[in-house]
């Protein structure tokens, strides 16, 4: 996979340089960053334009940590997940890069399948967040890929956003990713209450947001999923494993 397969924003920052795992910095990360079983971690530095840490990748996808770079990580995504994963990473990091405060509090997550070195598919929850910032700029990001065999996939991509300006983050990403069959945690949360018989007014009260905020989460789903009613929307959600 070439850099052309990255989004227009992110490809300006990506290189294929792997981490020097013998470096003092990498050794320090391995001693101080906790890692769970069946979890792979990377740290990518925008300051150095290279990977500066990788750990656990053989256990998760069969590749040695020395083989891991940003293009390799992206190329491991199963084909049906690759376009959305690319656009989510691109748009989310662009949003975060435009912020100057509390940067370490921003992150995003996606449920997807990665392709193991042996060709099998690995269900993971991938979470990417700001690892370190300097003078209001993102210096490095950290990614964690945790195998989750309980994931059941339909046609709809599932993602979540976190950070101080969560509502704005959600609104901008929802618009940017509208062409994809995808749903955020916030949209899923509201839709779950719809499925339980709550009115928009009751959902707004339950989630402590405005009525219009709930409309912004639910109404666009009609067009995105090509449904014509709330009943159809809820049925679509169950059919595609959005709702349990």
Show pLDDT as tens, one digit a residue, over the chain (244 residues).
455 566 678 788 888 899 999 999 999 999 999 999 999 999 999 999 999 999 999 999 999 999 999 889 988 999 999 999 989 999 999 999 999 999 999 999 999 999 999 999 999 999 999 999 999 999 999 999 999 999 999 999 999 999 998 888 988 898 889 899 999 999 999 999 999 999 999 999 999 999 998 998 999 999 999 999 999 999 999 999 999 8
In the listed set 134, 149, 164, which residue is the last one of a domain according to the structure?
A: 149
3-state SS, residue 203: helix
CB 152, CB 243: distance < 8 Å: no
Alpha helical stretches, state H, the chain: 24-32, 57-61, 70-75, 82-97, 166-176, 185-195, 200-207, 211-225, 230-239
Residue 97 lies in a domain: yes
Look at strands 157-162 and 182-184 and give their pairing. Answer: parallel
Query: Using CA atoms, how far apart are residues 151 and 52, in angstroms rounded to an integer?
Result: 30
**Residue ranges making up the domain that contains 20:** 3-149
Same domain assignment for residues 68 and 128: yes
Query: Using CA atoms, how far apart are residues 153 and 123, in angstroms rounded to an integer?
Result: 9
Query: Using CA atoms, how far apart are residues 141 and 162, in angstroms rounded to an integer?
Result: 14
Same domain assignment for residues 39 and 71: yes
pTM over 0.75: yes
Same domain assignment for residues 30 and 125: yes
* Number of domains within the chain: 2
Residue 34 lies in a domain: yes
Residue 162 lies in a domain: no
Same domain assignment for residues 40 and 144: yes
């Amino acid at each position: 996979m070439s850099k052309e397969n990255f989004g227009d924003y992110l490809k300006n920052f990506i290189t294929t340089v792997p981490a020097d795992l013998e470096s003092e910095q990498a050794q320090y990360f391995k001693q101080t960053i906790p890692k769970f079983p069946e979890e792979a971690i990377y740290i990518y530095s925008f300051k150095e334009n290279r990977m500066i840490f990788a750990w656990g990748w053989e256990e998760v996808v069969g590749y040695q940590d020395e083989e891991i770079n940003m293009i390799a990580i992206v190329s491991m995504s199963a084909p049906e997940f690759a376009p959305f994963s690319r656009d989510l990473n691109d748009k989310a990091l662009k949003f975060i890069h435009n912020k100057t405060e509390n940067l370490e509090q921003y992150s995003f997550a996606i449920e997807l399948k990665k392709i193991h070195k042996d060709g099998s598919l690995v269900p993971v929850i991938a979470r990417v967040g700001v690892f370190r910032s300097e003078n209001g700029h993102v210096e490095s990001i950290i990614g964690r890929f945790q195998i989750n065999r309980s994931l059941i996939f339909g046609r709809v991509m599932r993602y979540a956003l976190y950070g101080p300006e969560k509502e704005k983050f959600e609104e901008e990403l929802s618009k940017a990713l509208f062409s994809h069959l995808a749903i955020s945690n916030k949209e899923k949360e509201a839709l779950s209450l719809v499925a339980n018989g709550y009115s928009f007014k009751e959902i707004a009260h339950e989630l402590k947001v405005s009525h219009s905020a709930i409309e912004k989460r639910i109404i666009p789903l009609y067009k995105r999923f090509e449904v014509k009613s709330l009943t159809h929307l809820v049925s679509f959600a169950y059919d595609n494993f959005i709702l349990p």
